[in-house]
Every structure is written in C-alpha cells, then in structure tokens.
Amino acid sequence: MLIAPGAVTLQRVERPAPARGSLFAPLTEQIANVRRWNDERGWGFTSADLDAIDLRPADHREPLVVDVIAVYLPGHGDLDGIRRTCLELWTVATDEHPAGRSWEQRKAERMPVTLLDGIEHRPGIRRVTLDLGAHWRLGGTYRLIDVRGPDSAHAEILAAAAHFPYWVWAMDGTWVPYTWVPGY
C-alpha cells in the first residue's frame, strides 16, 4: 500500500480498561499545576489560598470517581467570572493537548457561556469530588437534558481535562466514557 506524504492511516486498536492510577494525577501534582498556572496566567490566588487545600488522599471505590482541584475565577475586563473561568481552564486544558481542537481566542472571549439555573459561581479554589462516569452505561443512551441539575459539573470538568491529559486521551466511549460539561 502506498501512502502519500502527510497522509494518516487509522486503525481501531482494542485497548484493555486503563488502570486508575495511570489516568489521574495525585492531588500533590494537581496543586503544583495550579500554582504554576496561577503564576503563569495571573489568576491572583495567594499562597495561603493554595496552602488551604486539603491534599489528603481519599479512597474512592469507583474507578472514575476522582478528586480534582478546580479554580473559579472572578471577572476581569470584559469577561465575567463564569466566562473567564471557562476560557482560562479551556486554554490550560488545550495547552496539555496541542493536537486537540481549540476555539480561537477572539471567539472564545465572546462565547455565550452561562451556568445552568441553580448553579452559583463562587470565585475561589476548591477540591471537589467528580464522578467522571456519571449517568454513563455501556450501550445505554440518555439525553443530557434529563440528567442536568444544580449539582452538574462545569469548571470542574475542564480542570480535570487540564490535570488529567491521559484521561482525555483514554476516552473511547467503551472503557472510558466521553464527557460532557452539563453545568454550562
């Protein structure tokens, strides 16, 4: 078979379910990420803010239930806190995936992102527990509108994508479900 320069051939590769530890960064690595991003991107968190995060490991029985250190930014310039948080976390996450798709900066700044009714944007930094497989069943279907509510994840999913690039890579819809951001 002849392949033209720059052409890509794709073949489906069957992978076993990934080991939990290979997908998710520990909290100590996550706080180091946030410290770096805070310095690089000028988020304005203080050392005291970052030191206040509980880094004690938790034992979650489900393989896709993880603790994530998420940031919720205040507004700045023309961006309200919701859009700024979304844009900043999206940018950090896509920086971890250079071959991934990304909004153009000027379009992202005008994106019509809002939070689902009942979700309040409170600026700060928090450790949250996420079920990255919530509502997912192999071969099952559901409509997002049927499972959204005031506890739906938003910025936390983007923070997870930034902290866990191997989780994003492992999404195949079989062993690791594709994710949505239902709180936005």
pLDDT at 81: 95
Residue 119 lies in a domain: yes
Residue 153 in any domain: the answer is yes
Q: Kindly state whether residue 54 falls inside one of the protein's structural domains.
A: yes
Specify if 184 maps to a domain.
Answer: no
Q: 153: domain range?
A: 20-132+142-170
The pLDDT, as a whole number, for residue 141 is 67
Question: Is residue 111 included in any domain, yes or no?
Answer: yes
Please state, in angstroms and rounded to a whole number, the distance separating the CA atoms of residues 83 and 75.
8
Q: How confident is the model at residue 17 (pLDDT cuts 50, 70, 90)?
A: very low
pLDDT at 61: 87
Q: Is residue 180 part of a domain?
A: no
Local confidence band at 11 (pLDDT 50, 70, 90 cut-offs) = very low
Instruction: Tell me the average pLDDT of the chain.
Output: 82
Decide: 129 and 65 in contact? Cβ < 8 Å.
yes
Residue 11 belongs to a domain: no
**Would 137 be classed as within a structural domain?**
no
Say what angle helices 155-163 and 27-41 make with each other, to 10 degrees.
Answer: 100
CA dihedral 50, 51, 53, 55 (to 10 degrees): 120
Number of folded domains that form the chain: 1
Write the pLDDT tens digit of every residue in 123-162.
999 999 999 988 777 666 666 677 788 888 999 999 999 9
Of 82-91, 106-115, 120-129, 166-175, where does mean pLDDT reach its minimum?
106-115
